[in-house]
Amino acid sequence: MSIEFKISNQLIPYKKAMKFLDIRVENVKNHKGRELLWILEHPTTYTAGIRSKNAEILAKRIKIISTNRGGKITLHGPGQKIIYFVLDLNKRKKDIRNLINVIEKSIIQFLSIYEINSNADRKNIGIWVNKKKIAAIGVKISKWVAFHGCSINIRNDLNMYLKIIPCGLNNKKITSVYVEKKRNIKKVNYNLKNIFLKNLNNI
């Protein structure tokens, strides 16, 4: 099966991305479109998953966009890589846990390229470095079509997390590749593409 790969070098507004994603999901459901892997960055945007609570919003004046992904309130912004996908699990393994494992594995492999040791946590979904969260995962399943994806903090402004309780966590327990390595890294999109396409195609 061939997954279409798409990369956006300019910031893509969150709602615009969701509209594109929703259309692709319906097309895949109706066998009228290809599966998708899309790497991008958003402008600063706070989103609320289906398990979010108002108490997790600390700065009450910020704008929150509700979304149908799993998880709680989180932050997207410049310097954070978003990996969206649309996968037809009807043609693959109908195993949601396996899909999550593959996403976790892909993020861990990506970070290891830059000599960052990370791990998954069964109690707190996401990827962690020294007990600080560096990547978030949120997946939605509809008629065995899986969509949304994950985010990885590369060099984003972590102070923006202080306005929320991200993913139900202490907002000071968030990190990024830059914080861990204290330097810029290269070939981010290239490495993300190779790792995710390879691993998702093997589901």
Query: How far apart (Å, rounded) are the C-alpha atoms in residues 161 and 157?
Result: 8
Query: Token pair for residue 180?
Result: 């861990």
**Quick one: what percent of the chain has pLDDT higher than 70?**
98
HEC letters along 109-151: HHHHHCCCCCEECCCCCCEEECCEEEEEEEEEEECCEEEEEEE
Query: How far apart (Å, rounded) are the C-alpha atoms in residues 44 and 34?
Result: 29
Active-site residue (options: 139, 167, 174, 192): 167
Q: What is the pLDDT at residue 136?
A: 92
Q: What is the pTM of this model?
A: 0.94
Residue 87, strand partner residues: 146
Total number of domains constituting the chain: 1
CA dist list (Å): 65 to 58, 68, 85, 133, 180: 15, 10, 20, 22, 29
Query: Token pair for residue 86?
Result: 């649309």
Q: What is the pLDDT at residue 167?
A: 72
Q: What is the pLDDT at residue 69?
A: 77
Q: What is the pLDDT at residue 68?
A: 77
Query: How far apart (Å, rounded) are the C-alpha atoms in residues 126 and 167?
Result: 10
Domain CATH code at residue 29 = 3.30.930.10
Query: How far apart (Å, rounded) are the C-alpha atoms in residues 187 and 201?
Result: 21
Return the percent helix, strand and coil in the chain, to nearest 5: 35, 30, 40
- Structural domain including 61 reads 4-201
Of 47 and 51, which is predicted with more confidence? 47
pLDDT one-digit tens code per residue, 138-174: 899 999 999 999 999 999 999 999 999 887 677 678 9
Query: Token pair for residue 129?
Result: 């470095």
Query: How far apart (Å, rounded) are the C-alpha atoms in residues 158 and 176?
Result: 8
- According to DSSP, residue 199 is labeled H
pLDDT one-digit tens code per residue, 72-122: 888 999 999 999 999 999 999 999 999 999 999 999 999 999 999 999 988
Evaluate if residue 1 carries a pLDDT over 80: no
Query: How far apart (Å, rounded) are the C-alpha atoms in residues 46 and 189?
Result: 23
Cβ atoms of residues 73 and 48 within 8 Å: yes
- Average confidence score pLDDT of the chain: 93
The yes-or-no answer on residue 167 being catalytic is yes
Query: Token pair for residue 50?
Result: 């289906």
